[in-house]
Structure 1
């Protein structure tokens, strides 16, 4: 296949350079806007062969595995242009939903680095290969280190290799999820299936050798050497196995600060899709909070942390599937403010009920620009206005962006505000 010359017009939603070739678009990974490149084209996708004319915004990557490992999409773009690209991801999603709204500059929320990581292990003739997936592939790229991880995860890769070597004879694709906690590494295995006595014994020894805080397999405890705890505001929370956390500590703290600021005058707050209480445990310092999630383990951990933290006001955790049984507008109207942070799919059904309510302040948190734009359109149609939309970058160099937005009700605002301030 002979390379063809392409002119890159822009960066796409996945961080790939986008070129126009006749009537079709071609996506070129690792190419930047304004560059002329030589690429081997296969349908809509192409492989970058050479950079004929480089962008003045091109810089050197920070990782030797960049362009082979699929974890990072954009490492070679100058910081200011990179931040503007992240902002454009939100602007484009809103525009595609028919919304012309102002989006604030991107806030860097990388902090010390990612506090959780998933390594993949695949096996060939009984030998384990451990690392990240290559882009658009299930091929494993073995790495020596990842510069995006917090220093507390420095020992995660050696531990993952040791675990993979023990489970190599089973030959099953394995995911090894590692979270940095106050007491060390918390490791959850997925894909191994039930373990025999020999495997369990070897994993127990590996947990000791690598000083793991906890080791679980599909949520089933293998080894517990210390409680896997994190701080959420003033609370100390013991993590359930495999539970969701924001990618970085800085990301969680930045989001929480904006949630607290937007709801500063509220005395009765709902936290929807609350997880382990990243917002609820902080809000409960000054407000009564009712927190909803379908993960019973996360709710139990949140309640235990709240009970053990002096000075928190009432914090109630309610198990409820908000996708199939969203809170109705009449239920929502009992609150002064609320925050909702759904998974990537968003919360269209819940947003529709929010739109029918008269709650004066709504804070939306999202990790997916398209579902956020859809849900925002529902709220706007229901009489809310946008106070602010801010992109946060806690997924550095990836084509993901976190969003926090504050909505205010316009219809019936006087009566709603009177309740909020009274």
Structure 2
């Protein structure tokens, strides 16, 4: 049986040998043996383990596709993710101070998208196997909050009542201050009688809010989250930082980046993750493409005390980025775009006179591309703060400070 040595981890967390063959759950420094006909992603048998190999903390790890890196030590994962950030910047010819990565603890993911399927004996709630539509039950998931994990049995009962054996429900569940916020996709087409039945079920299961196929059935309590001094209840399925610890790490980095800025623009503001905390010391103009998120941001700001003025603007920043003169008299900018980055908007910031930019990104590649635009315009990239709130995955968040 052939063997090979693993020389590196790819950005997707796959072990690679010198010939470029990819191996699931293999680590650099390991010797593995494999069947030659296993295909391009080979599941190896470890002959010589790495000193970074550890026992997985979750009993579902071998079959579940929800986590990628539980077989690697925390320090090795931190080094790997930091290196991904460094390599992304190096590809654009940029060097800077990369701060130690901040990693969210286990059992802190406050939102999860479960697959739910009725079975002959009841229902199964879990995640798909890697590269398969097979479903794995995860009653002891070590990724999500204890509150979410304790709700799995209740979600099974809900699936028995409203699911179908012909298809699979997608249940996005969020652990909010008001309780469980449940959004169901791929459900049956709604009729009036079903709306009544679903509303009653939400009461029995004590959901804070229940949304079915984009229609909110009932809101029994505000599914709010604490952003600084305000409580904000984002719309169903709206973007939310994966963990509270990750959110606080990014928020702190943004505040440190902007320092004493007193008039700030928050681009891709969402429901106010950064807007509300910044409003404790600065006037903030929040710009976001989804009007519903701005409405919840505004409502949370108005109900809070001790905050400076916040204004909002619904605007598609990909089609209509803010222009340089719209940054006139602004002390700082926060920009937190989707994974695609914000190339057009970054060019407009580069052409403005704004002195400080706090950049947040979930994609080291597009972050580096947009960073190059700012650096070419005379900004210095003072530091980068990696944040690992998607623990045991290949995802890394970034916060950074640019100054003229």
Question: Do they superpose with TM above 0.5?
Answer: yes
- On the 8 A contact 1:110/1:395 being kept in 2, the answer is no
Q: 1:156 to 1:369 in 2, by over 3 A?
A: farther
1:147 Cα offset (Å): 0.8
Of 10, 13, 26, 2:11 maps to 13
SS of the residue corresponding to residue 154 of structure 1 reads helix
Q: 1:128 to 1:201 in 2, by over 3 A?
A: farther
Q: 1:210 to 1:8 in 2, by over 3 A?
A: same
Equivalent residues in 2 for 1:151-230, closer than 5 Å: 151-169=146-164, 171-192=166-187, 194-197=189-192, 199-230=194-225
1:138 Cα offset (Å): 2.6
Aligned length: 404
**Pair 1:132 & 2:137 matched:** no
**Pair 1:91 & 2:86 matched:** yes
Number of the residue aligned with 1:416:
none
Runs (4+) of structure 1 moved beyond 4 Å? 41-44, 122-128
Distance 1:276 1:110 in 2: 24
Q: 1:65 to 1:40 in 2, by over 3 A?
A: farther
**Pair 1:146 & 2:144 matched:** no
Distance 1:355 1:52 in 2: 52
Number of the residue aligned with 2:265:
270
**Pair 1:352 & 2:350 matched:** no
Number of the residue aligned with 2:283:
288
Distance 1:9 1:222 in 2: 52
Of 334, 352, 361, 1:366 maps to 361
Q: 1:128 to 1:195 in 2, by over 3 A?
A: farther
Distance 1:11 1:97 in 2: 21
- On the 8 A contact 2:106/2:142 being kept in 1, the answer is no
Number of the residue aligned with 2:397:
402
- On the 8 A contact 1:114/1:149 being kept in 2, the answer is yes
**Pair 1:39 & 2:46 matched:** no
SS of the residue corresponding to residue 367 of structure 2 reads helix
TM-score (norm 1): 0.90
1:201 Cα offset (Å): 4.4
Equivalent residues in 2 for 1:52-67, closer than 5 Å: 52-67=47-62
Distance 2:345 2:207 in 1: 39
- On the 8 A contact 2:106/2:143 being kept in 1, the answer is no
Q: 1:272 to 1:126 in 2, by over 3 A?
A: farther
Q: 1:349 to 1:138 in 2, by over 3 A?
A: farther
Q: 1:314 to 1:193 in 2, by over 3 A?
A: farther
1:312 Cα offset (Å): 1.3
- On the 8 A contact 1:170/1:192 being kept in 2, the answer is no
1:84 Cα offset (Å): 0.7
1:111 Cα offset (Å): 7.2
**Structure 1, unaligned runs of 5 or more:** 410-422
Q: Give deviations 1:238-278, integer Å, cap 9, x for gaps.
A: 23111111000011111111111221211100000000101
Number of the residue aligned with 1:315:
310
Distance 1:287 1:111 in 2: 34
**Structure 2, unaligned runs of 5 or more:** none
Q: Give deviations 1:172-222, integer Å, cap 9, x for gaps.
A: 332100111112101011122522355444433432332111111133122
- On the 8 A contact 2:358/2:400 being kept in 1, the answer is yes
1:167 Cα offset (Å): 3.2
Distance 1:377 1:136 in 2: 35
Distance 1:111 1:313 in 2: 35
1:44 Cα offset (Å): 6.8
- On the 8 A contact 1:16/1:27 being kept in 2, the answer is yes
1:126 Cα offset (Å): 10
Distance 2:36 2:274 in 1: 47
Distance 2:121 2:195 in 1: 18
CA RMSD, Structure 1 to Structure 2 (Å)? 2.0
**Pair 1:326 & 2:324 matched:** no
Of 76, 82, 93, 2:77 maps to 82
Distance 1:44 1:339 in 2: 45
